[in-house]
Amino acid sequence: MSITTAVILAGGLGTRLKEAVPNLPKAMAPINGRPFLEYQMDYWIDQGINHFILSVGYLKSSIIDHFGERYNNASIEYAEEYKPLGTGGGLLIASKDLIEPFLVLNGDTFIEVNLDDLLNFHIQKKSKWTFSLFKKSQFTRYMGMDVNINGEILSLKSKKSHLNGLVNGGVYLIEPKVLSSLGYKVGNKASLEDDLLPSYISKGGKIFGKEFKGKFIDIGLPEDYYRSSKIIE
């Protein structure tokens, strides 16, 4: 099995970043002269991704006009939101025709994940939904995870309830049938973390997570965005 398709969630309003990047979606925020999204796509193309589905909404024309139908030998299609549907709603549109396992990436974060390692873990655990995890201390912006020694995620922690430990890295490996079993229809508004994921768990679904220790970048806040130029090469 190989993973060749990635959905990138790039449709958010970017409210917190507007003071630094007022007229662009977050994924197009310029870093060292290039849109953040280019760095993301380059990284995954180098690991074998050759097809991107970009979930777009807010100021979507800036993304579509910049990338068109191809980038660096990878094909691109667009899942367009005509009203804000949230990360889960955008994902449902973007994945509706997929039949093979695929990656899901947050459009405003980057984490170094070895795709082969993630896929091998996913297969070994017979997982349907696998998370990339990273360790953070004194942080309450990310969803925390209680993970057992087998890599199974036993419970989720509110973004405000934990100070350290493993948190969601924003890269997921998902089997398409998972999303079609959740009771949400294409066009429904939903959050990936607050709606789709809890729905899957409530139906008895198991989720697994693998820790990665490489670079992590989040451009969601102005202070983090300004720091990113010193991290991204």
What are the structural domains of the chain? Answer: 5-228 (3.90.550.10)
**The predicted structure's pLDDT at residue 144:** 75
Q: Which residue has the higher pLDDT, 17 or 69?
A: 69
Residues 6+ apart with CB under 8 A from 188: 85, 88, 89, 92
DSSP 192: I
pTM beyond 0.85: yes
pLDDT of residue 216: 84
Neighbours of 223 (CB within 10 A): 7
Contact by Cβ (8 Å): 128, 206? yes
The residues that bridge with 145 in the sheet, in sequence order, are 156
* Residue 35 phi, psi (nearest 5): -65, 140
Higher pLDDT, 225 or 69: 69
136 vs 3, higher pLDDT: 3
pLDDT at site 93: 95
pLDDT band at residue 27 under the 50/70/90 scheme: confident
CA 10 – CA 12 distance, rounded (Å): 6
pLDDT digits 0-9 by tens, 87-115: 999 999 999 999 999 999 999 888 899 99
**pLDDT higher than 70, residue 20:** no
Please identify which residue in the block is written with the tokens 């994921």.
197
| Diameter over CA atoms, the chain | 46
For 131, the enclosing helix (H) or strand (E) is: strand 129-137
The pLDDT mean for the chain works out to 87
The CA distance from 119 to 174, in Å, is: 10
CA quadruple 156, 161, 167, 170: dihedral sign: positive
Interval 199-223: pLDDT, tens: 999 899 999 999 999 888 887 766 7
Q: What pLDDT, on a 0 to 100 scale, did the predictor assign at position 38?
A: 95
Nearest CA to 174 among 56, 7, 50, 42? 7
User: Is residue 129 helix, strand or coil?
Assistant: strand
Q: How confident is the model at residue 139 (pLDDT cuts 50, 70, 90)?
A: low
| pLDDT cut 90: percent of the chain above it | 55
pLDDT digits (tens, 9 = 90+) for 142-186: 777 778 888 898 877 655 554 557 888 899 999 999 998 999 999
User: pLDDT value at position 64?
Assistant: 96
| Helical ranges in 130-196 per DSSP H | 176-180
Mean pLDDT to the nearest integer, 133-143: 70
Measured between alpha carbons, how far is 215 from 160 in angstroms, rounded to an integer?
23
62, exposed or middle or buried, with CB in 10 Å at 0-12, 13-18, 19+?
A: middle
Helices and strands, counts by H and E, the chain: 7, 14
Q: What is the pLDDT of residue 80?
A: 94
pLDDT for the residue 49? 97
